């Protein structure tokens, strides 16, 4: 199960804080030890300077009987040498031999199995050596270091709790959004509220979700309208089919039954064509059609579609003419074939007998042009905006149709980014359906 964003943030922030805390503690510890060493070295040098100033006046001091003023008092020793050879004065815890072989500066010496830090200074005939046990220095350094690290160690859990509270508070809008989406019914597609304090990171997500909800609502409404319209449109041929079947059933002779059966076959053909167009229109809805584009020869495609529809045109004495040059577009060949078939089928159905239907392909500054021109009655200019709406039939009432052909054409054109318009045919006669495809990429 994937971890939540909150847990990942908490773990990452706490790990980063702990790492910074540890590094800071180590650096603080090392700095504290260094500063303690510097301070104690300065103390040794100062003590040596005081002894040097009074070297000629000092007698031997019995440090054994001095009061113990500090727990580290017996860990400091000193010697006063005359000409570096005669020991004039020393503390009782100092040996009779020199604390260090050096005459000047600091040195680390091993005396009676213990480490000492020794400072030596020589002036005129006097040599002063002051020493401090290294163990005592380290104990002082550790004590100072613990004093520095203790607040850091105590502060880390507090920082962790503060980080957890900040993360929880910062992610609260996301939790509220999740609860709001979780409470919604599948058909509840109203826009989500976008509070002013939601944060710059969540605002784009909310806007995209609201856009998605709007698109889904529009799609569902379109499907509801389509289903209602399709049910209404299918009801007519089915009712006619049933009526003709009843007529055939009641017929007393083959002569009476044959016309009814012919009309039953016609009604079946019309219903099959309607169902085929409905299925085609439904298949155009998924967006995956856009991902299967390829360079398509529009002229060759139109030639093949025209050959398929030639028998329909020949039965009415209509000439199919293909004009223009070989031009390629970026698109889906099967969809473009459906588009051309619907345009030519409409043109042939509405064109008068013994007329001409032209398919013209060419180029322009706007892109690739496809014209399908018939010599039929055309469509009034005021009604052309309604062309392409589902189940809208604006042509002759005596021509069979479902009102879906141009809807399919318009949808395929949208998928290919093509502009669709309806003009008058040559000399104001008929209809010129013009599709402008974007020029293919080089």
| pLDDT band of 436, cuts 50, 70, 90 | very high
Intervals of CATH 1.10.287.130 along the chain: 202-282
- Which CATH architecture best describes the domain 202-282? Orthogonal Bundle (1.10)
Tell me the whole-structure pTM to 2 decimals.
0.45
Residue 290: pLDDT band with limits 50, 70, 90: low
Going by the DSSP 8-state scheme, the letter that residue 189 receives in this structure is -
For residues 190 and 179, give the distance between their C-alpha atoms in angstroms, rounded to a whole number.
Answer: 15
293-437 in CATH: which number? 3.30.565.10
pLDDT bin (cut points 50, 70, 90) of residue 225 is: low
Residues forming CATH 3.30.565.10 domain(s) in the chain: 293-437
Integer-rounded Cα radius of gyration of the chain: 50
CB contact burial 97-126 (16+ within 10 A = b; e otherwise): ebbbeeeeeebebebeeeebbbbbbbeeeb
Q: Read off the pLDDT of each residue in 295-317 and give the average, rounded to a whole number.
A: 87
CA distance 297 to 117: 95
Average model confidence (pLDDT) across the chain: 76
Q: How confident is the model over 60-75, as a mean pLDDT?
A: 47
**What Å distances lie between residue 303 and 204, 307, 359, 369, 423, CA to CA?**
48, 6, 9, 16, 23
User: What is the arrangement of strands in the sheet containing 356-364, beginning at the earlier edge strand?
Assistant: 319-324, 356-364, 367-373, 431-437, 419-424
Question: Which one, of 373, 246, 371, 248, lies nearest residue 318 by Cα?
Answer: 373
Cβ-proximal residues to 26 (8 Å cutoff; 6+ apart), any chain: none
Retrieve residue 177's tokens. Answer: 């959004």
Q: 329: closest CA among 278, 381, 380, 370?
A: 370
**Mean pLDDT, residues 279-308:** 73
pLDDT value for 115: 85
Q: Which of 418, 144, 131 is nearest to 293 (CA)?
A: 418
Q: With bands split at pLDDT 50, 70 and 90, how would you rate the model's confidence at 270?
A: low
Q: Report how far residue 216's alpha carbon sits from residue 212's, in angstroms, rounded to the nearest whole number.
A: 6
Q: Is the pLDDT of residue 335 over 60?
A: yes
The pLDDT-based confidence of 65 (bands split at 50, 70, 90) is very low
* Residues paired with 80 in a beta bridge: 89, 128
Q: What is the pLDDT of residue 174?
A: 74
Write down the pLDDT at residue 324: 86
In a 10 Å sphere around its CB, with 0-12 CB exposed, 13-18 middle and 19+ buried, how is residue 387 labelled?
buried
- pLDDT value at position 190? 77
Give the Å distances, CA to CA, from 118 to 26, 38, 77, 156, 175: 28, 13, 9, 40, 66
Residue 387's pLDDT is what?
61
Helix (H, G, I), strand (E, B) or coil at 160: helix
- Which of 77-81, 170-174, 352-356, 393-397 shows the lowest per-residue confidence on average (mean pLDDT)? 393-397
Angle (CA) 366-372-374 rounded to 5° is: 140
- Give the span between the Cα atoms of 119 and 52, in whole angstroms: 12
Residue 44 predicted with pLDDT over 70: yes
């Amino acid at each position: 199960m994937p971890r939540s964003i909150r847990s990942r943030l908490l773990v990452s922030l706490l790990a980063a804080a702990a790492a910074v805390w540890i590094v800071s503690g180590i650096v603080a510890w090392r700095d504290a030890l260094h500063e303690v060493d510097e301070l104690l070295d300065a103390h040794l040098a100062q003590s040596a300077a005081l002894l040097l100033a009074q070297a000629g006046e000092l007698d031997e001091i019995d440090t054994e009987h001095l009061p113990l003023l500090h727990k580290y008092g017996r860990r400091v020793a000193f010697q006063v040498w005359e000409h570096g050879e005669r020991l004039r004065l020393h503390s009782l815890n100092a040996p009779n031999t020199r604390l260090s072989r050096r005459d000047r500066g600091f040195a680390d010496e091993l005396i009676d199995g213990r480490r000492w830090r020794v400072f030596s200074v020589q002036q005129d005939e006097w040599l002063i050596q002051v020493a401090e046990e290294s163990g005592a220095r380290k104990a002082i350094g550790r004590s100072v270091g613990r004093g520095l690290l203790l607040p850091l160690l105590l502060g880390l859990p507090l920082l962790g709790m503060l980080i957890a509270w900040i993360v929880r508070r910062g992610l609260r809008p996301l939790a509220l959004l999740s609860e709001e989406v979780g409470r919604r019914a599948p058909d509840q597609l109203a826009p989500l509220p976008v509070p002013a304090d939601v944060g710059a990171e969540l605002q784009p997500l909310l806007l995209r979700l609201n856009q998605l909800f709007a698109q889904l609502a529009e799609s569902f409404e379109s499907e509801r309208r389509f289903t209602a319209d399709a049910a209404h449109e299918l009801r007519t041929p089915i009712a006619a089919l049933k009526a003709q079947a009843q007529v055939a059933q009641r017929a007393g002779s083959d002569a009476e039954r044959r016309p009814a059966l012919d009309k039953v076959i016609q009604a079946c053909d019309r219903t099959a064509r309607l169902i085929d167009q409905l299925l085609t229109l439904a298949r155009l809805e998924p967006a995956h059609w856009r991902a299967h584009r390829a360079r398509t020869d529009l002229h060759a495609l139109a030639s093949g579609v025209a050959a398929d529809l030639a028998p329909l045109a020949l039965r009415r004495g209509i000439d199919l003419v293909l004009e223009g040059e070989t031009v390629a577009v970026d698109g889906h060949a099967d969809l473009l074939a459906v588009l051309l078939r619907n345009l030519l089928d409409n043109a042939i159905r509405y064109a008068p007998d013994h007329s001409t239907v032209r398919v013209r392909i060419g180029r322009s500054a706007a892109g690739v042009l496809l014209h399908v021109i018939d010599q039929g009655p055309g469509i009034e200019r005021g009604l052309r905006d309604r062309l392409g709406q589902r189940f809208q039939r604006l042509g002759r009432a005596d021509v069979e149709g479902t009102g879906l052909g141009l809807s399919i054409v318009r949808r395929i054109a949208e998928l290919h980014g093509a502009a669709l318009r309806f003009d008058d045919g040559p000399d104001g006669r008929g209809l010129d359906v013009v599709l402008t495809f974007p020029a293919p990429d080089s």
